[in-house]
A and B are shown apart, each in its own frame.
Chain A
C-alpha cells in the first residue's frame, strides 16, 4: 500500500475543512470550536488544531488529508504539522478565497509562511468561492503568480463538490497512480457533497440572513475588544457601541486625521492604521478605507496584531 499525504492550508473560510470532508472516506477528524472573533460573521465554528481525513485511491494507494487551522493565532499548529505529521507530504494545497479583498496578499503570506515546506514539494493553488465572486479569473491568477515568480498550478474548485475537489488529487498523484478508477471514485464520493442542490444544506454553518451578525457584534465577539465605531464613506457614524464619549471623540479625530493625510501625503502610500496607546488606557485604533472606516477600543494588553487582523476581516466582510 502506498500512502500519500497532502496538507491543505489557507485563510479562515477558504474551505479547508469542507474540501477535506468532500474527499474523505472516513468520518473526518476535526477540532472545531465556537468562533471567538470576528469570523463569527462568516461561520459559527472554526478549526483550532487540525482536520484529518483519508481517501482510498485504489487497492494499493491511499491519500491522507490534513488541514491546518486558518486563524493566524493557531499558527503554532502549522509548525507542529510541518515538522511532524506531514513532513513527508506530497504537496501543499493553498486554498484561496476569491472573495477576499486581495487574494494575492493571502498567497504571498502563505507562501512565505510555508516557504521551506514548499521548496521540496508540489504547491497547488485551489481558488474557492468563485461562484460568489468570479474575478480574479484563472488567467489573471496565472499572470500575477508568474510576476511573483511562482510557477504553479491553479485550479478553481468548489470545496463542497467532491468531483471538483478531486481535480486537486488528480493533479497531485494522477501521474504516478495509473490504476485509480476516477469515475468510480467520483461516484463513491458523491455522498459527501454538501452542494445546496444535493443536500439542501451547506457544510460550514454559514450565517443565514435571519441570523446575520452585525459588524459591532462581530467586533465584540473578540476577547479584548471593548468597543467599536463604524463610519461610512461620508465619515458619518453608521453604528457605534463605544461607551466613553472621550474615546468616541478621539476615534473620530483619528479617522479624520487619517482621511486628511490620505489626501495630503499620498506620496507615502496608503495608511493602514493609526494606533493610540496609554499606560492605563484602552488602546484606540482606526482603520480607514474609501468606503468605510472602523475604530476599535481594546484592552491595553491585547496584541495590536490581533486587533489589526480582526479589523481587516471586519471591514472586508462588511463590504460584501
Chain B
C-alpha cells in the first residue's frame, strides 16, 4: 500500500504529490485532476517563495477554494508536498500524519 493510499484510507486526502525543485517527483493525482494540480503547484509555490523572502519559517499552507482544500508542506528547501482534499477535512490530522511520515515522503 502506498503512502497516498494510506492517507486516502484514513479519509485525509484525495490526492497527493511531491515536488522536487518544482518538478513532480511522485504523484497520485489522476489526469482528470490536472487543472487542480496546476493551480495548487503555482499557488503554493508562490506563497512559500514569499515566506522565503520574508525570512519567516512558516512551512505549511492551506487554501480553501470551492469544494477543495489545497494543502502544502515545505518538507525541506527543495521539496514541497501538495495535497488535495475535501474542503472540510481536518488540517490538524493531515499535519500530524505529515509530521510522523516526513522521511517517507522525502524518500519518494
Contacts and interface: CB of A to CB of B under 8 A. Distances in A.
A binds B: yes
Interface of A: 246-247, 249-250, 253-254, 257-258, 261, 264-265, 267-281, 284, 304
A247 B50 CA distance: 11
Nearest to A278: B58
A253 B55 contact: no
Interface of B: 35-36, 39, 43, 46-47, 50-51, 53-68, 87, 91, 95
Given A268-B66, A274-B62, A257 B57 contact: no
Given A246-B55, A269-B67, A253 B62 contact: no
Contact of A281 (B46, B56, B66, B68): B56
Given A254-B47, A254-B50, A272-B87, A265 B39 contact: yes
A265 B57 CA distance: 27
Q: Is chain B's binding surface mostly helix, strand, loop or mixed?
A: mixed
A265 B65 contact: yes
A261 B43 contact: yes
Given A268-B36, A272-B87, A250 B51 contact: yes
8 contacts: A257-B46, A271-B63, A272-B64, A273-B63, A274-B64, A275-B63, A277-B58, A277-B62
A183 B46 CA distance: 67
Contact of A277 (B43, B60, B68, B87): B60
A171 B60 CA distance: 52
Contacts of A274: 47, 61-64
Contacts of A270: 65-66
B54 A276 contact: no
A277 B67 CA distance: 21
Given A247-B56, A257-B43, A279-B57, A273 B51 contact: no
B62 A250 contact: no
A246 B54 contact: yes
A267 B35 contact: yes
Q: Which 3 A-B pairs have the closest CB atoms?
A: A269-B66, A278-B58, A253-B50
Nearest to A253: B50
Contacts of B47: 253-254, 257, 274, 276
B107 to A, nearest CB: 22
Nearest to A269: B66
A251 to B, nearest CB: 10
B66 to A, nearest CB: 2
Nearest to A247: B56
